[in-house]
Structure 1
Amino acid sequence: MSTPFSKSGAARTDGSSVRIGALVPLTPPGWVEAGRHLLAGLELAVREVNDAGGIGGTVAGASGGRPLELVVRDTAADPRRAAAAVEELAGLGVAALAGEYHSVVARAAAAGADALGLPYLCSSAVLDALTDEPTERVARLAPAQSHGWRIYADFLLAAGHRRVAVAAQPSVYWASGTRVLRDRLAARGGTVVPLDMGELTPAAVCDALVDRQATALLLLVGHPEPAVPLVRAVRRDRRLAEILIGAPAGQPEFGSWATALGEDGAAIPFLRYLPERLGPLGDRVGAALRERLGEAPSFVAFEGYDTVTVLADLLRSHGTDRAGVARSWPRVDVEGTRGRIRFSRTPGIGVWQWAWPPVQVVDRDPAAPERFRVLHTGPA
C-alpha cells in the first residue's frame, strides 16, 4: 500500500506545503494494529498544526503559514521496502522523515536517510543500534531497548524470578533483547534459559519449562503466531500453574491480544511508554485519539503525535532546510504528551535520543482484561 497524501495533511500540490515523510506498517506481515495507532497519532498532530496556522503561522487562518503535509508510505515490516520509500520521499522533497514501529525496518530507514542527508525522527523502534555509525541526522523518541528491557529485568528480579526462560524467534531485535536480559539478570545471580522457537512446538516449550525449572517465560515472538498458541498451551498445562508469562516487547498492549486470548491474555506483564498519569495535553490528545481510533489509544499513538509535535516545532524555529533541521536536534525543548522532550547524546547510542520517555511495566487485569495495571515504573 502506498498512500500519496494523508487526509489530515491539507495536501497541496502547488509546492506551498511543508512535507513530512511518514513510514508506517499498514499491511502484513507488519504489525498493522501498531501501524494504525502510529498513523492516527501522526495525522492528529498534523491536523492540529494546520488548524493552528501551519508552519510559519501563529493562529488558525493566519496568512503566511504553510500547511504541513504528511506523505505516508507503507513499509509492511520490510526493510527493503522502507529503504525504497526513503529514497522516493527524499525525491519528493520532504523536509524530514518520521515514524516506523519495527526496529529492523527503522534501521534500514535510518541508514537511507543518513546517506541522503534527510533528517529522521524515529517514533517507536527501540533497537540500540539504530545506525551502524554515529550520525547527526537521526533522532529517536522511543527509549533504547537496553534502557527499557533493563527496567523489565529489574521488575522480574524484584518479583523473585531468577530462572527466566526466553522463547525467542530468530531476529536481531529478539537477540538484542535476550542479551540485555541475560546481562541484567546475571549481575544479580539470575539465569536466562533460551528456548528456540524455530525448533520447539508449544507443547515442547511446556516440557522444557518443567525440565529447566523456570519460574517465568518471556515471549520474544511475533503476534498472533506463535504467541497466541504458546500462551494457550502454557495456561492449560497444570504443571505450569505458577509460572509467570511475560511479553516485554508489548504484544498485550493492543486490543487484538485481548480479542484473541481473552482471560488467558491477562496478567502478562509488558513494557509501555506512558507516565502513570497524563498531564492536560496528554489527556486532551488521548481523548482525540480515542475518538479517531474508536478504541483506547496505545502508547504508540502518543509516540506518533509527539513525533509531529517535535518536527513542527523544529520547522517553525529553524526553517525547512534539511541540514538546518538535522543541526537542531540538541535545541529541541518541547512539551509532549508524555513529558518534556529534549534530545542528547547517550553513551552507546549513535543517534540523538530522548533520555528518557517514561517506562512502565503493566499487565491486563485478570478481573477486567480491558483494564491495565501498573506493576513497576522505571527511573527517569
Structure 2
Amino acid sequence: MNTPSSTSGVERTEGPAIRIGALVPLTRPGWVEAGQQLLAGLELAVHDVNTAGGLAGRPLELLVRDTAADARKATAAVDELASLGVAALAGEYHSVVARAAATRADALGLPFLCSSAVLDALTEEPTSWVARLAPAQSRGWRIYADFLQRAGHRRIAIAAQPSVYWASGTRILKDCLTPHGVDVIELDMGSLAPTAICDQLADTQATALLLLVGHPEPAVPIVKAVRHDSRLAGIMLGAPAGQPEFAEWTGLLGVDGAAIPFLRYLPERLGPLGLRIEADLRERLGQAPSFVAFEGYDTIIVLADLIRSHGESRAQLAKAWPDVAVEGSRGPIRFSRAPGISVWQWAWPPIEVVDRDPAALDRYRVLHAG
C-alpha cells in the first residue's frame, strides 16, 4: 500500500522537492496505532521544515510506504524508494522489519535513519549507511531488568512468543537478572492458552509475569485471564516492549491494563521545544502522542539538518552521521559508535519505566529512569 506524499507548508518554498522515503506499519498484522503515531511525527516535522522555508528554499516531500510488519514488503519498498530518487529513508517501528530494511539500504548505499526499532543487530556487519534514534534493546531492557530487581522481584515468569525480537529480549533479561540470584522461568507460548498460563503461573510462585507477546493477541486475553484469577491477585504484570503505551490497549482492557510497567523513551519533563511539539502532535492525532510520535518528529529534524549541511548526495549524508548536533524534541541528539551496535546510534535517548495509573488511565507514573 502506498500513501499520498506529504509536502506540508510548501507555500513558502520553491524549486524541486527533496524526497525522503518513510517506512511505517499502517495495516495489519503491523501495529497500526504505532504506525499512525510514527507517521504523525514524521509529517509534523516535514510541515515545520517547509513552513520555515524548506531546505535552501526547496520543500521536503515524504514518500510513505506501508510495511504492514512484513520484511519482504519493506525490502521491496526500499528498492522502490531508492529508484524514485529519495535522499534518505526514515521510520519503521517493528524491529525485524527494520532489520530487513536496514540490510537492503546498506546494500544499495541509501542512508536510513531508523526511528523506533530497537533490535541491537539491525545489520549483520558494521555499516556507515544506517543510524538509529531509538535505544538499543540491550540498553532499554537492561534498565527494565534493573527496575525489576530494585522492586524486589526474585522469581519472574516470561511468556514469550517465538521471534528473534522476543528471544533477544528474553536473553537480555536473563543475562541481567540471573547473576543477581533472580529465577527466570520461561512459559511456552507455542502451546499454552491464557487459562493454562494462569495454571502454570500459579505453580511457579512467581511475583511477576512479563508479556513478550503481540498486541492485541495474545496479550489482551492473557491480561484478562491473569487479572481475574484469584490465585494471581498479587502478581505484577509487565510489558517491557511498550504495549500499554497506546490508546487501543486501554480501550480493550480498561483498568485491567493499568499498573503494567513498560518502557518508553521520553524524559520525565519535556523542555519548551518538546512541549510545543507535544501540543502540535496532540492536535494532529486527536489524542496524547506516544513516544513513537516524538521519534518520528526527531527523525525528520535530523535528516533535514544533514541535508541542509551536506546536500543530497547519499554518500555525503552517510559520512555525516558523526557531525549531527541537533536539538530534538527530547533533548540534544548526537550519533556515535556504541559497543556491540553495528549502526550509528544516538547514545542515548531518555529511557523511563512507567505504568498507567489505575485511578486515571491517561496519567503515567514514572517508576524508574535510566
Match of 2:133 among 115, 136, 141: 141
Partner of 1:170: 162
Matches within 5 A, 1:24-173: 24-56=24-56, 65-173=57-165
**Aligned letter for 1:182?**
K
Q: What count of residue pairs does the alignment treat as equivalent?
A: 368
Q: For the Cα contact (< 8 Å) 1:9–1:70, is it kept in 2?
A: no
Partner of 1:322: 314
Q: Per-residue CA shift, 1:10-37, capped at 9, x if unaligned?
A: 49xx981100000000000000000000
Partner of 1:235: 227
Matches within 5 A, 1:177-326: 177-326=169-318
Specify whether residues 53 and 10 from structure 1 end up closer, same or farther in structure 2 by C-alpha distance, changes over 3 A only. Answer: closer
**Aligned letter for 2:51?**
D
How much has 1:8 moved relative to structure 2? Answer: 2.8
Counterpart-to-counterpart distance in 1, 2:165 and 2:103: 17
Q: For the Cα contact (< 8 Å) 1:202–1:229, is it kept in 2?
A: yes
Matches within 5 A, 1:2-17: 2-6=2-6, 8=8, 10=10, 16-17=16-17
**Aligned letter for 1:141?**
L
Q: For the Cα contact (< 8 Å) 2:8–2:51, is it kept in 1?
A: no
Which secondary structure does the structure 2 equivalent of 1:23 belong to? strand
**Aligned letter for 1:79?**
A
Counterpart-to-counterpart distance in 2, 1:154 and 1:9: 45
**Aligned letter for 1:71?**
L
Counterpart-to-counterpart distance in 2, 1:117 and 1:227: 38
Q: For the Cα contact (< 8 Å) 2:15–2:58, is it kept in 1?
A: no
How much has 1:212 moved relative to structure 2? Answer: 1.2
- TM-score, normalized by length of structure 1? 0.95
How much has 1:5 moved relative to structure 2? Answer: 1.1
Counterpart-to-counterpart distance in 1, 2:321 and 2:287: 33
More deviation, 86-95/157-166: 157-166
Partner of 2:331: 339
**Aligned letter for 1:123?**
S
Counterpart-to-counterpart distance in 1, 2:316 and 2:188: 46
Q: For the Cα contact (< 8 Å) 1:10–1:69, is it kept in 2?
A: no
Counterpart-to-counterpart distance in 2, 1:41 and 1:9: 15
Structure 2 unmatched ranges of 5 or more: none
Identity of aligned residues (%): 76
Q: Per-residue CA shift, 1:322-358, capped at 9, x if unaligned?
A: 0000000000000000010000001100000000000
Which secondary structure does the structure 2 equivalent of 1:70 belong to? strand
How much has 1:191 moved relative to structure 2? Answer: 1.9
Q: Per-residue CA shift, 1:263-303, capped at 9, x if unaligned?
A: 10000000000000000000000000000000000000000
The alignment yields a C-alpha RMSD, in angstroms, of: 1.2
Partner of 1:59: none
**Aligned letter for 1:28?**
R
**Aligned letter for 2:27?**
T
Which secondary structure does the structure 2 equivalent of 1:375 belong to? strand
Counterpart-to-counterpart distance in 2, 1:123 and 1:10: 24
Counterpart-to-counterpart distance in 2, 1:4 and 1:365: 38
Counterpart-to-counterpart distance in 2, 1:314 and 1:180: 34
Structure 1 unmatched ranges of 5 or more: 57-64
Partner of 1:61: none
Q: For the Cα contact (< 8 Å) 1:167–1:217, is it kept in 2?
A: yes
Counterpart-to-counterpart distance in 2, 1:370 and 1:4: 32
Which secondary structure does the structure 1 equivalent of 2:110 belong to? coil
How much has 1:156 moved relative to structure 2? Answer: 0.4
Counterpart-to-counterpart distance in 1, 2:239 and 2:361: 15
Counterpart-to-counterpart distance in 2, 1:184 and 1:298: 27
**Aligned letter for 1:5?**
S
Q: Per-residue CA shift, 1:141-173, capped at 9, x if unaligned?
A: 000000000000000000001211110111100
Q: For the Cα contact (< 8 Å) 1:24–1:101, is it kept in 2?
A: yes
How much has 1:6 moved relative to structure 2? Answer: 2.1
**Aligned letter for 2:68?**
A
How much has 1:83 moved relative to structure 2? Answer: 0.0
- TM-score, normalized by length of structure 2? 0.98
Counterpart-to-counterpart distance in 2, 1:9 and 1:225: 40
Q: For the Cα contact (< 8 Å) 1:362–1:373, is it kept in 2?
A: yes
**Aligned letter for 2:143?**
I
Q: For the Cα contact (< 8 Å) 2:20–2:63, is it kept in 1?
A: yes
Counterpart-to-counterpart distance in 1, 2:357 and 2:165: 28
Q: For the Cα contact (< 8 Å) 1:18–1:94, is it kept in 2?
A: yes
